[in-house]
Amino acid sequence: MLGGTKMSKICYVIAEVREQKLRQVTFEAIQAARLLNNVEQIHTILLGHQLTELAAELSHYTPDTLYVIDDASLTHYSADLYREAILSIIDQANATIIVGHTAIGRDLAPVLSAALHAGQISDVIAIEGDTFTRPIYAGKAFEQKQFTADETAIISIRPNNIPPASALPSQGNIEARTLTQSAALRVMVKDIVRKASGKVDLAEAKVVVSGGRGVKSADGFKILEELAEVLGGAVGASRGACDAGYCDYALQIGQTGKVVTPMLYIACGISGAIQHLAGMSQSKVIIAINKDPDAPIFKLADYGIVGDLFDVVPILTEELKATIQN
C-alpha cells in the first residue's frame, strides 16, 4: 500500500438525483474519490424514492458498494433524514465523504461535518493527493488546503471542474438499507415550484448566455433564452439586471450570486464590474457583446462584438439553429 503509515480512506460519494436523473456532479464526485491518496474503498450512497433504475445505472460506476435507501419520505431533500440515513451507513471513524457543491450538497455537507466533528473543504475544483484547490473571493484568488489529520473528512466539489468517472467493466454490489429515523420532522416541505424544471442548471451548464443592464427589460431576456435553448445552455444575469428586476436573483452570476465555469460564456449587455467578473472569468471561452467599446468585459473576452445585442443575438440564434440542426 502506498503512503506508509497513513490510514487508508473509505470514500463515500453521496449521489444526487434531479428530475429522476443522476446529476453529472455525482460522476465527477466518484472521479474525485479516485484522485485522493490512500483510498481503499469507494462506495456510493443513493437516497430518494423509486430508485431501481437509477441504482442499476449508478452501480456501473461504483467500485465497491452502492448503498440505497428507497423511501417515500426521502422524495424531497431533508437535512435531518439525510443525516440520519448517511450516518447509519458509513464507517464514522474513517470516512471521507464527497458531495457536489449544489443546493443539496451545500446544505448537507456542513450538517454531516458538524455531526461527525469533522473538517470540511468546500467548493473544491481540483484535487492532487492530499491537497485541494478551491476559489476564494469567488475566484479572484485560489487557495490550496489540506486536512490537518488523517481522520473523517468531508469534501464538496464544484460541478463542471473535475472530469466525470467513466463506467466500470463490472457492476458494483448493491445493498438496500432502510430508514431508521422515526422522530417528528422539524422541517416540512409544503410546496415546491419547479421554476427551473426542464432547464439546464446554471452551475452545470456547458454554455451560459448572460444578460446585463443592457438587456433593458425582463422582456429583453427572451432573446437570450432563445439563444441559450439553441445552444443547450442556461441563462445567467449580472447584478445590475437582477437589481433592476429584469430577472430572478437565482440567475445572478458574480461574487454575490453564483460562480460559473462553463465551456462558453456569452455576455450580452454586461459592462463587466469586478464583482461580476469574479463569477465568470474562469469560463473557458468568453464572448462579449456590448455597445460600449470601453466596457471592461472586452479586456478579458476572447471574442467581442461592439454592437447592439438586440441586432446580434437574433442573428446568432438563427444561424446556430441552422448549423446545429445540420
Residues of span 155-184 touching another protein by CB under 8 A: none
Smallest gap from Cβ 205 to another protein, in A, equals 11
Residue 190 touching another protein (CB under 8 A): yes
> How far apart, in whole angstroms, are the C-alpha atoms of residue 100 and residue 77?
14
Beta strand pairing status for 17-18 and 126-128? unpaired
Residues 89-148 that bind another protein (CB under 8 A): 102-104, 106-107, 109-111, 113-115, 117-123, 131, 135-148
Residue 216 C-alpha cell reads as: 433593458
CB 174 within 8 A of CB 69: no
Taking CB under 8 A as the rule, which mask of x and - marks residues 18-37 in contact with another protein? --------------------
Task: Decide whether 117 or 169 has the Cβ nearer to another protein.
Answer: 117
CA distance 134 to 259: 12
| Binds another protein by CB under 8 A, chosen from 169, 193, 198, 294 | 193
54 SS3 class:
helix
Q: Which of 31, 96, 210, 282 binds another protein (CB under 8 A)?
A: 282
d(CA 80, CA 75): 13
> Residue 170 or 195: which CB sits closer to another protein?
195
Q: Does 71 bind another protein (CB under 8 A)?
A: no
Buried b (16+ CB within 10 A) or exposed e, 311-321: ebbeebbeeee
Choose, by CB under 8 A, the member of 80, 150, 225, 229 that binds another protein. Answer: 80
If you search the block for the grid coordinates 467500485, which residue do you land on?
63
Q: Which of 157, 231, 237, 241 binds another protein (CB under 8 A)?
A: 231
Q: Which of 153, 162, 208, 224 binds another protein (CB under 8 A)?
A: 153
Contact flags string 195-214 toward another protein, x per CB under 8 A? xxx-x-xxx--xx-------
Rounded-to-integer distance, Cα 273 and Cα 184, Å: 47
Closest listed residue to residue 28, CA positions, set 131, 135, 134, 166: 166
Which residues 252-281 are close enough to bind another protein by CB under 8 A?
Answer: 252, 254-257, 263-264, 266, 273-275, 278, 281
